[in-house]
Structure 1
Amino acid sequence: MRHYNKILLTGIHGQLGHALKPALEKLGTVIALDREKLDLSQPDSIRAAVRLIKPDLIINPAAYTAVDLAESESEIAHAINGIAPGIFAEEAASINALLVHYSTGFVFDGKKTHAYSEDDVAAPINAYGSSKLAGEEAIRESEASHLILRTNWVYSAYGKNFMLKILELAQTRSELRIINDQFGNPTSTNTIVNATIPALSAWEPGHTGTYHLVDQGETSWHGFAQEIIQQYEHLALKKNLPALATSANRVLGIPTADYPTPAQRPAQSSLNTEKLRTSFKLELPHWQEDLRQVMAAIAA
């Protein structure tokens, strides 16, 4: 297993940063910084932190993730998602550090009928996707050794995410209406961590590049919501948990047109993971099994 002397980790209060911290401690000393200690909207703050810590590994899960708000706050979204990764890359190159940065399937326009590969042309259709693509391009244009890991529909038992929101709403509502014509790969932070750590352990310079990291299989937001409710109902019977107000058959599918939002979403953001699985000899779980493990942990 490769060892790293100092690991700089951003975004520790986000769901992915929170999940990564204990796992990264197996690889080296982790210096985890929150927004107060490292302001990603300020390039000087980034440069000062990297030059003070002198890490040999930088992990950047921090991001501006408010997709709709990014339409009206594009400048701050671009600063955090677009400019900051490039600053990290410049600093990483200057000290020969490895940079790991997380991106999104929202860099694609969603016009494909099946999963996107790393070779497909990125063409984002909203400000959030544009800012994330700018960050990717800044890293690729640098001389830094890097892993850009695109993921999708991330959730966990911690923080704010779709799974926890559905469980919250289902406690009081008798019916949920969820979009059924946008498709992606629900992916827990467990999967992302369980792939990131082996990739870092096996890292070689030839691995520099962009990879897709998501659970296997795809579904719609409606399908994801239904599965969340169904799995909760199953656990409720086994564990004597409180019943939800919404049953699985009362999760109704609606088209995107019936739920307008400030930001347009790609109809298809599913990602093909063959490159990652082959390069690092990884197995990734099916999204339903991954969800089952997260739900079981919540029930416990």
Structure 2
Amino acid sequence: MTTLSQNLLDLSDFAWQRLRNRVEGLTDEEYFWEPFDGCWTIRPSDGGYAADGFSADGLRIPPDPAPFTTLAWRITHIVDILQEDRTATWFGHQPLAEDGQPPTPTSAADALAALDHAYAVWRRRLAAVSADELDRPMGEPAGAYAEHDGASFALHILDELIHHGAEVGTVRDFYRGAHPEDPFAAALAGELTPADRPALLAEAAAAQRWEVVPQLADLGFPVNERTKDGFTPAHLAAGNGSLDTLRVLVEHGADLSLTDPRFNADVLGWANWFKQAEVAEYLATVRSAPEAR
């Protein structure tokens, strides 16, 4: 039977990986984007721009409604939540010297590095908590929460990771909507090459832009590259029932035996799982008669 400790670790890892995937490719412009007046963000606290001279906007009693917070503010907050000393001391442990103190990242690259470190610190601390420590009251180190057990505190930190991670993803969606980009048009115009963006055809399949997939394939964009989630264009075409697209991919050398990291299924497995009977029939024919390609 799975233990409470393992369930907490599994939930933490799932929430973390979802957040980490959502911040991939973050730029400085997006990190500091303020879509409205009065946003809370991170700013130089001493009039300069030294890395140690930044701090996050905030008040002990926030206004109601709370200000919109930038990605810089939100990511800094997540780093602080995961890495602060209490994620060790409230469980009755001591922080390690190499854990350090939560920084205020002043660039997107620094923010991603800080997130990686903060999560590694939090995960190691959570993994070190015993079943007894999860079950018993935390006592004096937890102050007003002394009577709460360790499990309730672990769940609180996970709630912070999950809901702030969801906010980060939503702000990225807002930014993308406000700064539309059409890499497919750029590729078709010759402004973007397979060397520039090898997974572009996979991106087109993920966006269900089936009309551009054949053109990208003809331009030499690889058909077996994967999306950031590890899906090939053939998986996505099969799962969505886009038989014409799948035929094009097969004609351009799609490897139908590749499996995805989430379901460990090949392309036919996706067709069957998503109940795409016509696609599954075609794939069965291709599998039994390779010359049909």
Q: TM-score, normalised by structure 2?
A: 0.31
More helix by share: 2
More strand by share: 1
* Structure (1 or 2) with the larger CA radius of gyration: 2
